[in-house]
């Protein structure tokens, strides 16, 4: 069994190396692009995490590998054939993702006319500052209503995020909390908008403070991790290099934060001695496995779904329900009760019926939808989406502002990678950031004097 998991880990390492070489060759002439961003997010959540988890499993207590009930329940029952099946689903998804990208670009090349114009995408500073100001006012107003003291308010904010019954969940504080990620992502875009301004020395410090404030108000590890990852990818896209040294320097602190951050935040709300957080895990292997299980939660959820959930094929019905969740039950005059969502079915079987949503994971949802045909349909569908983003990227002059916009677009398309569910894609915060960007961005055109016409589907070299 132990050697079997090590072989699966090596398979993920080999697969990651092959994808890295393919991406290096694909981007050799024109540089890192929008497709590269999606692939990087996929590799982080579905390959690097899986390689680490399987590599450490043989050295852990088989019944208590992470000290997290849901993870331990799944990993303690995991067998090697299930691990291999999820690997095949992962590799198949990425293969057909590239197929979808090629199909989408071919279609765009056929129907789009050649042009020698370049798109100029920028951000209107007045609008983005106004939207951020509204977001900050809403967040702080909701925060101030949580208690009479700052400490009490922050404790109640943590309890609110944990769905603790001690704090009443109202429409105001629930939506204000959900929109925190919207303002956090928007603050990152604003920072890269200001960096190119002559007023950057005046505007940058307060924007950094606002970004940190929204990260703190997110009261989660994700609230800090995602803005940092987003900022890193914006620099990668703009500078056209991966900055591996930055990754090496940030890796250890981020692993520690992901491993201990949740317990540290909970200790503030539940009056647990901070010193006890250090003794959360039995070994450093357990702490690292827990951290990568959170980063790659889609892998853990997927092996649990494939190995522990036996239901008829869902045929995509869960994604329709995710879209319908925008409208609560019994609205618009329809007396319709929605079917039970897959995230509640998976939570019941993989965790506890009363626990927060534990989705089936990307590969798990593909398996539930269409079995072995899942990677084909899912991969092509995501490839078609990213081919549109890539088509726009190829025709846009690369600036820090445009890079920030394309990173946000890649994040939105890639949201289901984390869970296999479109619940986050159609959630309040994602809709909020989409609407905010539409309000704030400006799109112009400039003619490339003396340049040849830009053939659709061919990167013209104007992105750098």
* Tokens found for residue 52: 């680490």
Q: Tell me which of 326 and 72 has the higher pLDDT.
A: 72
pLDDT in tens, 193-251: 998 788 888 999 999 999 999 999 999 999 999 999 999 999 999 999 998 888 888 88
Q: State the Cα angle at 430 between 246 and 413, rounded to 5°.
A: 65
In the structure encoding, which two tokens stand for residue 121, read together? 């995408």
Instruction: Determine contact, residues 338/108, Cβ cutoff 8 Å.
Output: no
What DSSP assignment string belongs to 406-417?
HHHHHHHHHGGG
Confidence at 460, pLDDT banded by 50, 70, 90:
very low
Q: So where are the chain's domains? A: 2-447
314 or 385, greater pLDDT: 385
Q: What is the Cα–Cα distance from 405 to 409, expressed in whole angstroms?
A: 6
In terms of pLDDT, which residue wins out, 80 or 351? 80
pLDDT of residue 464: 54
Instruction: Inform me whether the pLDDT recorded for 462 exceeds 70.
Output: no
Q: What is the dihedral of CA 137, 138, 144, 146, to 10 degrees?
A: -170
pLDDT (0 to 100) of residue 446 = 84
Cβ atoms of residues 391 and 457 within 8 Å: yes
Query: What is residue 336's predicted lDDT score, i.e. its pLDDT?
Result: 58
Task: Report the distance separating Cα 417 and Cα 208, nearest Å.
Answer: 29
In this predicted structure, the answer to whether residue 331 has a pLDDT above a threshold of 60 is: no
Averaged pLDDT for residues 157-182: 88
Q: How confident is the model at residue 326 (pLDDT cuts 50, 70, 90)?
A: low
Judged on CB neighbours under 10 Å (0-12, 13-18, 19+), 428 is middle
Over residues 73-90, the mean pLDDT reads 96
Residue 180 and residue 215: Cα distance in Å, rounded? Answer: 8
Phi, psi of 264 (to 5 degrees): -65, -45
Report the pLDDT value the prediction gives residue 14, as an integer from 0 to 100. 98
Distance in angstroms (rounded) separating the CA atoms of residues 119 and 443: 7
Run of H or E residues at 404: helix 400-414
Structure-token match 């890295």, residue found: 20
Per-residue confidence band for 351, with pLDDT thresholds at 50, 70 and 90: confident
Nearest to 399 by CA among 147, 105, 121, 207: 121
Q: What is the pLDDT of residues 137-153, one digit of tens each?
A: 999 999 999 999 999 99
424 versus 315: which is more confidently predicted? 315
Q: Return the percentage of the chain with pLDDT > 90, whole number.
A: 63
Task: Give tens-digit pLDDT for 409-453.
Answer: 999 999 999 989 888 788 888 899 999 999 999 999 887 654 444
Residues β-bridged to residue 368: none
> According to the model, what pLDDT value does residue 449 have?
54
Average pLDDT, the chain: 89
Q: If you ran DSSP here, which 8-state letter would residue 427 be given?
A: S
Name which residue leads in pLDDT, 139 or 114: 139
The whole-number pLDDT of residue 126 equals 93
SS3 441: strand
Is the pLDDT confidence value at 161 over 90?
no
* pLDDT reading at 455 higher than 70: no
Which of 44-53, 132-141, 274-283, 390-399 has the weakest average pLDDT? 274-283
């Amino acid at each position: 069994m132990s050697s079997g998991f090590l072989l699966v880990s090596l398979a993920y390492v080999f697969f990651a190396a092959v994808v890295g070489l393919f991406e290096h060759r694909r981007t050799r002439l024109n540089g890192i692009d929008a497709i590269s961003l999606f692939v990087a997010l996929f590799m982080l959540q579905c390959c690097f995490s899986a390689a680490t988890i399987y590599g450490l499993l043989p050295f852990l207590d088989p019944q208590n590998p992470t000290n997290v009930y849901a993870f331990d329940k799944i990993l303690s029952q995991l067998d090697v054939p299930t691990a291999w099946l999820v690997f095949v689903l992962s590799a198949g998804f990425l293969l057909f993702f590239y197929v979808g990208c090629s199909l989408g670009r071919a279609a765009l090349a056929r129907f789009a006319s050649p042009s020698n114009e370049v798109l100029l995408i920028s951000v209107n500073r007045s609008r983005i500052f106004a939207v951020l100001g509204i977001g900050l006012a809403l967040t702080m107003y909701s925060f101030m209503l949580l208690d009479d003291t700052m400490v009490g308010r922050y404790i109640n904010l943590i309890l609110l995020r944990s769905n603790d019954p001690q704090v009443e969940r109202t429409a105001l504080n629930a939506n204000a909390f959900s929109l925190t990620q919207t303002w956090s992502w928007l603050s990152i875009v604003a920072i890269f908008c200001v960096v190119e301004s002559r007023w950057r020395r005046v505007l940058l410090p307060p924007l950094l403070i606002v970004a940190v404030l929204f990260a703190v108000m997110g009261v989660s590890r994700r609230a800090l991790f995602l803005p940092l990852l987003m900022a890193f990818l914006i620099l990668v896209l703009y500078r056209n290099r991966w900055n591996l040294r930055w990754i090496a320097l940030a890796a250890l602190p981020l692993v520690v934060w992901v491993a201990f951050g949740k317990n540290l935040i909970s200790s503030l709300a539940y009056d647990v001695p901070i010193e006890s957080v250090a003794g959360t895990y039995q070994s450093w292997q357990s702490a690292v496995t827990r951290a990568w299980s959170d980063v790659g939660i889609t892998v853990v959820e997927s092996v649990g779904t494939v190995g522990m959930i036996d239901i008829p094929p869902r045929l995509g019905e869960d994604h329709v329900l995710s879209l319908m969740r925008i409208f609560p039950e019994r609205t618009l005059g329809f007396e319709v009760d929605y079917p039970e969502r897959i995230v509640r079915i998976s939570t019941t079987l993989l965790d506890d019926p009363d626990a927060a949503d534990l989705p089936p994971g990307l590969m798990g949802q593909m398996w539930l939808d269409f079995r072995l045909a899942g990677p084909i349909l899912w991969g092509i569908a995501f490839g078609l989406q990213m081919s549109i983003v890539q088509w726009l990227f190829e025709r846009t002059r690369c600036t820090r502002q445009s890079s920030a916009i394309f990173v946000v677009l890649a994040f939105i398309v890639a949201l289901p990678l984390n869970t296999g569910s479109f619940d986050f894609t159609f959630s309040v915060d994602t809709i909020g950031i989409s609407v905010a960007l539409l309000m704030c961005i400006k799109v112009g055109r400039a003619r490339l004097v003396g340049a040849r016409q830009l053939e659709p589907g061919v990167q013209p070299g104007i992105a750098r």
